[in-house]
Amino acid sequence: MGRAFEYRKASKLKRWGHMARTFTKIGKQIAIAVKAGGPEPENNPTLRAIIANAKRENMPKDNIERAIKNAMGKDQSEYKSMTYEGYGPHGIAVFVDTLTDNPTRTVGDVRSVFNKFNGNLGTMGSLAFLFEHKSVFSFKKKDGVDMDELILELIDYGVEDEFDEDEEEGTITIYGDPKSFSEIQKHLEESGFDVVGAEFTYIPNDLKDVTPEQRETIDKMVERLEEFDDVQTVYTNMKPE
């Protein structure tokens, strides 16, 4: 089992935060997608991908439709994608992905958590060398599909030859170049695959061992960060259990 596969599998199994916060975060993603590409999912591949993620998180249909409607309002705030990175306790790298309409507020919230846990918030891009940015697609497995052939078709889009299969869920997950997100999504949809998840992720290049006590502290820091509505996802290079 490779480093990336080990990390991804553990990350998939462990989730932080309450359902209400998850829905709030998805609502922000919907707002950005609607403003960028319109409210019609059939004409907006990014919105289609977010809706698929929302359904996977059991977000009610009414909530999704309300988020789309609200995003069309003239008084809606403009959200920006901001990332914050630094070192948490015990030298663990921490990457915080946010969507915010007030960067001053968000950076203050993030910095307060780093300070509380004796961490050090760095400058944007300072830890980029420690993580690989990837696009991630999960889709329902189809009978008779040759995965080697499918990967070969997608290799021009930077899709990895290593993929994850969840037999219980009946899904396949592939990883590719984030710049080719739309092209990968289009190919899967045109090939008749039921895409149930499409997003971006950061995978650490070097996983660090920690003691159980250290893991408990780092987990608390992650949980505290993800309590903020502006925070979408928190990534670390802590080795999974």
Taking only the tens of pLDDT, the chain with its 241 residues reads 344 444 444 444 333 334 567 888 898 899 888 988 899 998 898 899 899 889 888 899 999 999 998 888 755 568 888 999 999 999 999 999 999 989 999 999 999 999 999 999 998 888 888 999 999 999 998 888 888 899 999 998 899 988 998 888 899 999 999 999 989 999 999 999 999 999 989 989 889 999 999 999 999 999 999 999 899 999 999 998 8
CA distance 103 to 82: 8
Can you tell me whether residue 136 is helix, strand or coil? strand
* C-beta separation of 157 from 187 below 8 A: yes
Determine the CATH number of domain 3-71: 1.10.10.200
Superfamily of domain 80-129+207-236: YebC, transcriptional regulation domain (3.30.70.980)
Distance CA 64, CA 55 (A): 9
Compute the distance between CA of residue 41 and CA of residue 47 in angstroms, rounded to an integer: 6
Where along the chain do the CATH 1.10.10.200 domains lie?
3-71
CATH number 3.30.70.980 is the correct assignment for the domain at 130-203: yes
CATH 3.30.70.980 segments of the chain: 80-129+207-236, 130-203
Whole-number pLDDT of residue 21: 77
**pTM of full prediction above 0.85:** no
CB 34 within 8 A of CB 44: yes
In this predicted structure, what is the pLDDT of residue 62? Answer: 92
Q: Which two tokens stand for residue 19?
A: 């359902």
Contacts from 46-52 at CB under 8 Å and sequence distance 24+? 46/182, 48/185, 48/195, 49/185, 49/195, 49/198, 49/199, 50/26, 50/198, 52/195, 52/196, 52/197, 52/198
Helix (H) or strand (E) holding 104: helix 103-116
